[in-house]
Amino acid sequence: MNVYSTKQLRNVVLLGHGGAGKTTVAEALALVTGVTKRLGSVPDGTTISDYDKEEIKRQFSISASVVPVEYEGESGPIKINVLDTPGYFDFVGEVEEAVSVADAAIIVVNCKAGIEPGTIKAWKLCEEMKLPRLIFVTNMDDDQASFRELLLKLETQFGRKIAPFQVPIRENEKFVGFVNVVKMEGRRFTNMSEYVQCDIPDYAEKNLAIARDALIEAVAETNEDYMERYFSGDEFTTEEIQGALREFVSKGEMVPVIMGSGIHAQGFSYLLQVIDKYFPSPENLQCTGVDAGTGEHFYTGYNEESARSAKIWKTVVDPFIGRYSLLKVVTGTLTPDTQIYNVSRDAVEKIAKLYVLRGKDAIEVKELHAGDIGALAKLTVTETGDTMASTNARVLYDGPKLSKPYTYKAYSAKTKGDEDKISQALSRLTEEDPTLKVVTDTENRQTLLYGIGDQQLDIVVSKLAERYKVAVELRKPKFAFRETIRRKVTEAGRYKKQSGGHGQFGDVKMEFGPSGDLETPYVFEEQVFGGAVPKNYFPAVEKGVADCCLKGPLAGYPVVGLKAVLLDGSYHPVDSSELAFKMAANIAFKKAFMEAQPVLLEPIVSLKVNAPDQFTGDIMGDLNRRRGRVLGMDSDHNGSTVVSADIPASELYGYGTELRSMTGGLGTFEYEFSRYEQCPGDVQAKEVESRAAELAED
């Protein structure tokens, strides 16, 4: 592959709903630019970007991948790094990684399916990241697809930014060409994306006039001189229109809508022209960073003449293709056989060779200039989000802003002895996908696997079996209940043991009651008078209480909120010992606890659910069914409502799937631990019974 300067680069991410045709768009771009000789197929598993066995088996994208293509633009050759991303919401981390290095976006919309939840999410992400974008309407070969109807919906949903650059030409219910609204010329397809000029059909005139008026009005708004000319009835030249559109599109203030057919590779020559003309090169953009020495924030341009620096946006760890760190060069030029400093890890890494990844293929290149996307192989300490730089330019760039995983399940090895293999395999998978997280829950003796959704966790299990030949089983996790008491009880505890020689003797009288502080296990006090229990045994009595609090008598959960007071007792000058008084306190504790109205406490979390306004009623009803208490509702002033609630942690199991079903995928949630509260009687009875069976089995 040729080497490209900063101004010759375009970094474009494909976004949209699952199944809208993003991978097919990437495939068609590769075909039209000569990367491939035939159009790969998702059902056949022959596409460049969906190369993983899981992607081929499931027929949808799971990971973000890069498909660089070379195109001869109007002002010379350019390289377009096409970033193909998954559309299913469980893999949002892959989307966020790709967006972090993209300079513009193509939102792919299936004309027949129309605006889907993934379309809306893609738009919101572009707004948040301030990404210039265009909408590519695919599936235009379907005779049921109405471009005009979709355009009206887009304008209603996204406002005046929507600007159609094309109007379709159909003959005999077939998509045969389009009208270029900017140049006001007809185009008829000949071979795939190639076209020739043709007359504009009469039936297209009405829609063309509407699209043209909207376009010219937008152009007039770019400056006062144009506005005066517009009101005086002057015509703009094609060059003036294109110049104004370039300014609007590159700032994200106008969103072109263009069209094509993925399976027939129609419309992609024009798409390449639009990318070349209207999308910005990194040369015109900036990256935010922090000076590692002073902590000062700064903006830097993508300048190939500066000291070299780059940010790692993704890691690929594959048993077959190896380990690659994908990077975007921010400043300077990277070359092979050099060293580079990892500022994030304070370590020096060796660059042996430079690569450009195209799907699973690693293409060796001589150098990478500022703004380009490439890969380094077999780095030792570097991880996703790290910054690489020259030792004299110690800067830190923002890594991908990733969604936090809230869905989790417990997992265990199906075959004993596989635990170490599973741990190593999961370490590689979490390195590749930072939205996966492994947490060891020692209290409940379980290991938890966190992710964005259930589908992602299921695919992890499948990858473990396919790639690493280990089998794991997912199950509902155990939840961290607590035990406490509700009333005061006074009990005696006596430990006496005689077995020849010195015996064991300890005798205590103690009062147990609620302390009112559920944050600490117990509070210990002594109110002994007259030396009934010598002071040197007080710590042993407290130790007996502390040991009992580790595993309560009710269901074997830790005890909290207990106040234990040593009132009285007796001792033997020869047989008494610390062990005896510890055991006596243990006996008193267990007798008193079950008489003091023992109750189970369940963990309560503070939950926030963000979803479009029309789903608020359904969400509140579902939260009530899950024993949640709605605390408030706040508008985000963007058509959505944030519902705040307190809810038992155990009731959130499976909530992600339910919320997605209720809101069509547009709802999101987050939570954090708040406190412990008493369980309802039926929940307590069920948990005590379940726990008893479990402890008996152990």
**What is the per-residue pLDDT for 293?**
83
Shared-domain flag, residues 452 and 507: no
Is the per-residue pLDDT at 186 higher than 90? yes
Shared-domain flag, residues 305 and 425: no
Shared-domain flag, residues 327 and 214: no
For the segment 653-665, what is each residue's pLDDT rounded down to a tens digit? 999 999 999 999 9
Contacts of 122 (CB under 8 A, 6+ apart): 15, 16, 17, 105, 107
Shared-domain flag, residues 18 and 147: yes
On whether residue 693 sits in a domain, the answer given is no
On whether residue 698 sits in a domain, the answer given is no
Q: What is the CATH number of the domain that holds 609?
A: 3.30.70.240
Interval 669-690 mean pLDDT: 93
289 phi and psi angles, rounded to 5 deg: -150, 180
On whether residue 689 sits in a domain, the answer given is no
For the segment 525-557, what is each residue's pLDDT rounded down to a tens digit? 999 887 889 999 999 999 999 999 999 999 999
Q: How far, in Å, CA of 376 to CA of 353, rounded?
A: 7
- Final residue before a domain boundary, out of 283, 306, 325: 283
**What is the per-residue pLDDT for 668?**
94
Taken in order 357, 469, 432, 611, the sign of the CA dihedral is: positive
Is the per-residue pLDDT at 501 higher than 70? no
Shared-domain flag, residues 414 and 453: yes
**What is the per-residue pLDDT for 552?**
92
Shared-domain flag, residues 531 and 511: yes
On whether residue 535 sits in a domain, the answer given is yes
Shared-domain flag, residues 412 and 358: no
CA nearest to 377, candidates 394, 358, 391, 357: 357
For 663, the domain range is 600-683
- Final residue before a domain boundary, out of 346, 377, 397: 397
Interval 220-228 mean pLDDT: 82
Domain count, the chain: 5
Shared-domain flag, residues 347 and 383: yes
On whether residue 151 sits in a domain, the answer given is yes
Tell me the pLDDT band of 199, cut-offs 50, 70 and 90: very high
CA nearest to 33, candidates 12, 60, 7: 12
Shared-domain flag, residues 417 and 499: no
**What is the per-residue pLDDT for 663?**
93
Q: What is the CATH number of the domain that holds 100?
A: 3.40.50.300
Shared-domain flag, residues 152 and 225: yes
Is the per-residue pLDDT at 161 higher than 90? no
Shared-domain flag, residues 618 and 653: yes
On whether residue 548 sits in a domain, the answer given is yes
Shared-domain flag, residues 561 and 458: no
On whether residue 305 sits in a domain, the answer given is yes
- Final residue before a domain boundary, out of 417, 444, 475: 475
On whether residue 95 sits in a domain, the answer given is yes
Is the per-residue pLDDT at 314 higher than 80? yes
Share of the chain above pLDDT 90, in %: 77
303 phi and psi angles, rounded to 5 deg: -115, 120
* Tokens representing residue 473 in the block: 């089983």
Is the per-residue pLDDT at 233 higher than 80? yes
